[in-house]
A and B are shown apart, each in its own frame.
Chain A
Amino acid sequence: MIEILIERTPFLAGGFARNLLISAVSMGLGTLVGAALGLLRFRRFRATLRAEHVLTNVCRNVPSFVLLYYMAFMLPSEIEIGDSIVAVPVWLKAALALTLPVVGFASDQTLGYLQQRETGTAGAGETFVIAWIQYFLIIIMASATASVIGVDEIVGRANLILARDDSPVFMLATYLYVSAWFILVGLAISGLMLWLFRRRAAGA
């Protein structure tokens, strides 16, 4: 049983890389769009004020789990550009689904950051960074749901391994092993945060 898990570790690691890729893409994209939205809210352009507010609210309120299915159903799976056919991989759909909550988050954080900087509150930048890293962790956890729309990530791969042997003991071992990957990354990120906190405390 343990040998099988050790033997399948590279396979699972490949799946986990996909989780990290999805998380990184959604954090990157979401932060860009969200920061722009937050800046617009801060500048208070009359014409678009309501739109930014509603957009942020939508991003905040709609569950990523629902968005996964939404993107899977509503986005095309291939686009034809000129003469070539480009496939839209399903992991990208998952990344886009997770991007929306990040937009809502980044919009709020950017607004908060700009307001704090305006009032001269110290450490506004660090607050942003710490909140961002914390959210990154949340998004990595959320990426584990991508298998429900058929993304070939770590949970999906674990289920594939279990398709051959689904005795409860092996299932427990496999799922716990997969959880350990998430917990390790979670602890590593928390460690990074603690280090940032300490550095801020030392600098203050």
Chain B
Amino acid sequence: MSRFVLLLLLVIAWAGFAAAQPLDALRAVAPENPDGRLAHILKRGTLIVGVKADYPPWGMVNPDPDSDAIVGIEPDLARDIADRLGVGLQLEVVSAQNRIGRVNDGSVDLIIATMGDTEVRRHQADLIQPNYYSSGVVVYGRTDLGLSGWEALRDAPVCLTQGAYFNRTLERDFGLKGQYFPGNREARLALKYGRCVGWAFDDTALAQLVHTEHEPGFGVIVPTILDVPWAVAVASGEGDGQWGRFVADMVGEWHATGRILELQRKWWVGETEFLRDLHKTWSRVENGMPFCTRDPHTGRFPADCLFEMEPVATGAPVDLPEWAAALRERAGIDLRVLYDAYDRARLVRGLGLTLALGSVAILGGLAVGIGFGLIDARARRMGPIGQVVRLPLRGFIVLARMTPPILQLYIVFFALGGLMANAGIVTPGSFVTAGIILSSYAGATNAVLLSHALEHERLRAPDAELLALLPEAIRRCFDGLVATCVNIIKAAGMASAIALTELVSTVNLLVAEGGDKGTLMNGLLVFYFVFVLCVIWLFRLARNRLAPGGEARR
């Protein structure tokens, strides 16, 4: 019996020894007295993590149609962190464009969202070291155009996903003409439908894409450039706090245990060299201690345990003139975007597109309104045949007015555009699409206004030609027409949803890239306020020009 007890003790001792392997020292443990964001998470009882939904297999909508959950390598990593803290997990879908904003404004605690580690982003949020992955950028495109090599793509339209770290470099240094889309899905569709010659994106995602679906006629047309490690990020200022340190410990633990390699196998991506190297380093043991232990004095990991790579520089610091620096200091108004040539050019272009689209929508809306208004007014007096004529017209008006314009944009640009591209028909670009949709949306309302006004005028002068009554009819419903035009200008920002880089879209891009959101967003509001006032003023001017004293007659 005593021998059995001895054996049992031996077994327990051995098990204890085995459990206390050196690498266990790298196990991430939450501090006993949590503070800051970590305390906030524990108090909430839920960890909120921002992940991607358009980047298989890192983050995607569950391929199993019974669930709409977001799954993938990054959601699995997020789950690891929540489990370790003993809290629930809530995944929030973020985009490349909004992820830094979301973590900084506190709507998510952490982003594990395929984000490249760049110099600029290190100023925008606290990027956790060690990095957890690495990828570069390639262009996936049409193989039939004979475009190969980056130089061949100069001045070629290339689809880009808003917020990707390489966009600026590709446009500025490689001369690509970026066509911006809000997500990877839209960018890829746009390529498929011939809106660009290629789609620039991470080589990692490509491996998966080629793996899951082979598309004839498409392939990688350039070699990988701009290799960049990926980083998990917490809000600015939290990286050195308990929360940032805990997350960094978790990432280190993943490297030590080979967790991410394991997930790569689980999600069918080949093991990558980058991760194998890090795993080797992090599982090293020296003198009974893990090699990658934090320095007890500095709290830093040894430099060898962090992936050595110069972060890709994607922007240069901007020198502000004295008065602008003072404005920034005193009032918090940050005009740096105006002093960066690239940003300024984008803003000017965005402004130009907004003004151009606004003009097209107003003129188009008036033309459609007058045309359909006249047809409707004429058909009213044509008996049964007139009723037949009016039927499709009224159908158009109902459809145009009662379908949300953003859905109309999606339908025409993506769905119909896709059908047309598949049939080999040239598809209209985003400006033309938006111009048509906005014109018909405004035109439908204008047609109703004008048709009624013409009817009233006809009661006044029953024998007059319809066309002769038009000026007076326009005057009669002038305020209504102005209101429609103002509304259409306000709605034109929606074109940003189909990759038109007008002002709203440009400002969002600048905010996503770390521009001062207060200055930019307030500036945008002021711009629209003034813009609408100008349009109203122009219409007033036009009325006085067209009919001097018209105001008095009304």
Residues of A within 8 A of B (CB): 4, 11, 57-58, 60-67, 69-70, 73-74, 76-78, 85, 90, 137, 141-145, 148, 150, 155, 160, 162-164, 166-169, 171-172, 175-176, 178-179, 182-183, 186-187
Contact = CB atoms under 8 A, between A and B. Distances in A.
A63 B54 CA distance: 29
Contact of B406 (A57, A63, A155): A155
Nearest to B405: A141
A175 B410 contact: yes
Nearest to A184: B402
Contact of B407 (A64, A162, A175): A175
B493 interface: yes
Given A62-B525, A155-B406, A183-B403, 9 more contacts: A4-B65, A61-B532, A62-B529, A63-B528, A73-B517, A85-B44, A144-B406, A145-B406, A163-B61
Q: Which are the 3 A-B pairs with shortest beta-carbon distances?
A: A168-B418, A77-B107, A186-B402
A179 B403 contact: yes
A60 B536 CA distance: 12
Interface residues of B, number: 62
Interface of B: 40, 43-44, 53-54, 60-61, 63, 65, 68, 92-93, 98, 101-102, 105-107, 182, 185, 189, 193, 398-399, 401-408, 410-411, 414-419, 421-422, 486, 489-491, 493-494, 497, 504, 507-508, 511, 517-518, 521, 524-525, 528-529, 532-533
B406 A164 contact: no
A179 B54 CA distance: 24
Contacts of B189: 166
B540 to A, nearest CB: 15
Given A85-B40, A164-B65, A144 B407 contact: yes
Contacts of B529: 57-58, 61-62
B398 A141 contact: no
Contacts of A137: 402
Contacts of B528: 61-63, 66
Given A61-B532, A168-B418, A66 B525 contact: yes
A36 to B, nearest CB: 22
A69 B402 contact: no
A163 B404 contact: no
Nearest to B533: A61
A105 B51 CA distance: 39
B236 to A, nearest CB: 15
Nearest to A88: B107
Contacts of B402: 137, 141, 182-183, 186-187
Nearest to A150: B93
Contact of B401 (A143, A160, A186): A186
A163 to B, nearest CB: 5
Contact of B54 (A60, A145, A163): A163
16 contacts: A63-B490, A65-B504, A74-B518, A77-B102, A90-B107, A145-B494, A155-B406, A155-B407, A155-B410, A160-B61, A163-B54, A163-B185, A164-B63, A168-B419, A186-B401, A187-B402
B491 A63 contact: yes
Nearest to B108: A77
Nearest to B90: A87
Interface centre among B408, B415, B529, B532 (most CB of A within 10 A): B415
B503 to A, nearest CB: 9
Contacts of B63: 164
Contacts of A166: 185, 189
A189 B422 CA distance: 38
A182 B521 contact: no
A20 B193 CA distance: 34
Given A78-B107, A155-B407, A163-B54, A66 B418 contact: no
Interface centre among A62, A168, A171, A187 (most CB of B within 10 A): A168
Contacts of A60: 532
A158 B161 CA distance: 20
B216 to A, nearest CB: 16
A172 B508 contact: no
Contacts of B415: 168, 171-172, 175
B406 to A, nearest CB: 5
B525 A145 contact: no
A182 B54 contact: no
Contact of B490 (A64, A74, A85, A176): A64
A65 B489 CA distance: 11
A78 B399 CA distance: 39
B53 A175 contact: no
B516 to A, nearest CB: 11
Contacts of B98: 150
Contacts of B518: 74
B68 A160 contact: yes
A74 B521 contact: yes
